């Protein structure tokens, strides 16, 4: 068993006090522990029967459990655990490096695989693979985990082929199923089944949080809108406080507009329901983001929907109200009533608009001005494909449209 320094004991004590992990957890028998003789054997005397001591859990196994617990706290929104995880990952790595030859390989193989899949060094698993007596199953588990963490995902899948993740401990099977799901990019059905295993085996943990989030986005990529919204709502219900949840609504909207690209319509009612539980300021920023996405797609209906929601939530006369009015009017520049569009656009205050929308307003006003300017009689008589008057008009409009395109393209960066 590894001796810890006083500094490390103090760190562990601080960890337990801060996150409320029960100290008794480390003293529970580990399912990784096999027969007593495989790890520790009680001394025998000349005149007495050999003493059989209770199964002893290597100290490093307790540290790995603590690491898992810390990571799950991140799913609950505890940001302070991130730095603690880094310290604990380094400490566990040193412990395993020093004691890898002393511990029974099959007793610690699953825990080491879980450690590696949780951010530990893949070199630890590769060293353990060299030990004699390691079972073929555990060798495949360690090799596949190491390959995945080294970025060799296809090689990892090939190595893990035939290994039943459900035969492993839940804290390892969930992590391995998530890793395999991430590596599986060419079979949506298989990928989602692996996500489902990870979700089912490790509820309430960071593994479930990550699996739900990734599963939702994968369903959007597969053009499955019903399942996309089911996963999205479940993630929102269970992990809205996760440290990774802040960006999820924006990323979800970016994924949901795929349905517009494929000729279908993004479900407006579910979009409202999804955003409706958020604070007003957050909803405004997300509807604005959706409006900008609609401009990039050149999708009038989606733009009108997002701008109308933004307008309803915005403070009258404020910046967001001005932006909403701009987007509500922008498609009337080239279609509908250009006079009405010009009237609405000229009432906007460029000083209140962000750089993106200010440039877009300038381009829109240039275009609407050229659309409204009537051709002179002589222009109509002389009009031809090469008429200088028409060439000049087209050049002005093209210049304005290119300026608008550049602004929109810049918003994608």
Span 352-398, pLDDT tens digits: 999 888 888 888 888 777 666 654 444 444 444 454 444 444 454 45
Q: Nearest-CA neighbor of 1 among 52, 39, 32?
A: 39
Least confident span in 5-14, 23-32, 52-61: 23-32
Structural contact between residues 163 and 113, judged by C-beta atoms closer than 8 angstroms: no
pLDDT digits (tens, 9 = 90+) for 79-117: 988 889 999 999 999 999 999 999 999 999 999 999 999
pLDDT for the residue numbered 57: 66
Q: What are the start-end ranges of the H helices in 336-411?
A: 338-346, 355-372, 377-382, 388-411
Specify the number of domains making up the chain: 2
Structural contact between residues 323 and 285, judged by C-beta atoms closer than 8 angstroms: no
Structural contact between residues 125 and 138, judged by C-beta atoms closer than 8 angstroms: no
- The listed range with the strongest mean pLDDT (292-306, 337-351, 394-408) is 292-306
Asked whether residue 230 is assigned to any structural domain, the reply reads: yes
Q: Which two tokens stand for residue 133?
A: 């007596």
- Among 232, 267, 302, which residue terminates a domain? 267
Asked whether residue 301 is assigned to any structural domain, the reply reads: yes
Q: Is 318 found in the same domain as 203?
A: no
Name the pTM for this structure: 0.75
Q: Is 305 found in the same domain as 349?
A: yes
- Among 267, 289, 323, which residue terminates a domain? 267
Structural contact between residues 289 and 325, judged by C-beta atoms closer than 8 angstroms: no
Q: Which domain holds residue 305?
A: 279-413
Q: Nearest-CA neighbor of 61 among 157, 143, 169?
A: 169
- Among 267, 293, 320, which residue terminates a domain? 267
Q: Is 395 found in the same domain as 285?
A: yes
Give, rounded to a whole angstrom, the gap between the first and last alpha carbons of the chain.
53
Whether residue 335 is predicted with pLDDT greater than 80 in this model: the reply is no
Q: Is 301 found in the same domain as 245?
A: no
Asked whether residue 107 is assigned to any structural domain, the reply reads: no
Asked whether residue 350 is assigned to any structural domain, the reply reads: yes
Asked whether residue 68 is assigned to any structural domain, the reply reads: no
Structural contact between residues 99 and 60, judged by C-beta atoms closer than 8 angstroms: yes
Asked whether residue 352 is assigned to any structural domain, the reply reads: yes
Average pLDDT, the chain: 81
Q: Is 249 found in the same domain as 311?
A: no
Q: Is 290 found in the same domain as 205?
A: no
Q: Is 382 found in the same domain as 263?
A: no
pLDDT for the residue numbered 332: 66
Q: Is 262 found in the same domain as 298?
A: no
Share of the chain above pLDDT 90, in %: 57
Q: Is 289 found in the same domain as 250?
A: no
Asked whether residue 25 is assigned to any structural domain, the reply reads: no
Q: Is 194 found in the same domain as 306?
A: no
Q: Is 304 found in the same domain as 174?
A: no
Distances (CA, A) of 104 to 139, 170, 208, 411: 13, 21, 31, 56
Q: Nearest-CA neighbor of 84 among 5, 26, 22, 17?
A: 17
Structural contact between residues 182 and 45, judged by C-beta atoms closer than 8 angstroms: no
**Is residue 22 very low, low, confident or very high in pLDDT (cuts 50, 70, 90)?**
very low
Asked whether residue 150 is assigned to any structural domain, the reply reads: no
Q: Is 223 found in the same domain as 199?
A: yes
């Amino acid at each position: 068993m590894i001796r810890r320094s006083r500094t490390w004991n103090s760190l562990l004590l601080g960890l337990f006090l801060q996150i409320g992990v029960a100290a008794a957890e480390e003293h529970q028998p580990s399912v990784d522990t096999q027969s007593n003789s495989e790890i520790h054997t009680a001394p025998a005397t000349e005149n007495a029967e050999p003493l059989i001591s209770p199964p002893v859990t290597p100290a490093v196994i307790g540290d790995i459990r603590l690491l898992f617990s810390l990571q799950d706290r991140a799913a609950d929104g505890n940001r302070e655990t991130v730095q603690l995880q880094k310290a604990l990952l380094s400490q566990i790595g040193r412990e395993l490096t020093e004691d890898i030859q002393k511990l029974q390989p099959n007793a610690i193989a699953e825990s080491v695989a879980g450690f590696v899949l949780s951010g530990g060094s893949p070199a630890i698993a590769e060293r353990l693979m060299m030990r004699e007596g390691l079972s073929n199953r555990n060798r495949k588990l360690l090799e596949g985990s190491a390959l995945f963490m080294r970025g060799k995902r296809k090689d990892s899948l090939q190595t893990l082929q035939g290994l039943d993740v459900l035969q492993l401990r839940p804290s390892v099977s969930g992590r391995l199923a998530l890793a395999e799901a991430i590596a599986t990019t060419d079979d949506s059905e298989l990928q989602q089944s692996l996500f489902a295993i990870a979700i089912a085996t490790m509820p309430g943990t960071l593994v479930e949080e990550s699996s739900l989030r990734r599963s939702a986005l994968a369903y959007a990529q597969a053009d499955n809108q019903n399942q996309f919204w089911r996963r999205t709502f479940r993630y929102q219900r269970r992990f809205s406080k996760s440290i990774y949840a802040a960006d999820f609504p924006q990323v979800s909207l970016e994924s949901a507009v795929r349905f517009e690209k494929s000729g279908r319509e993004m479900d407006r009612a579910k979009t409202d329901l999804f955003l409706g539980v958020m604070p007003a300021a957050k909803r405004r920023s997300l509807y604005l983001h959706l409006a900008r996405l609609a401009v990039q797609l050149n999708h009038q209906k989606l733009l009108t929907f997002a701008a109308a929601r933004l307008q309803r939530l915005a403070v009258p006369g404020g910046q967001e109200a001005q932006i909403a009015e701009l987007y509500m009017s922008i498609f009337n520049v080239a279609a509908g009533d250009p006079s009405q569009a010009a009237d609405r656009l000229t009432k906007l205050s460029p000083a209140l608009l962000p750089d993106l929308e200010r440039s877009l307003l300038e381009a829109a006003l240039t275009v609407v001005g050229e659309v409204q300017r009537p051709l002179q009689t002589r222009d109509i008589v002389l009009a031809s494909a090469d008429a200088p008057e028409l060439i000049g008009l087209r050049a002005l409009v093209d210049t304005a449209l290119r300026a608008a395109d550049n602004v929109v393209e810049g918003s994608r960066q």
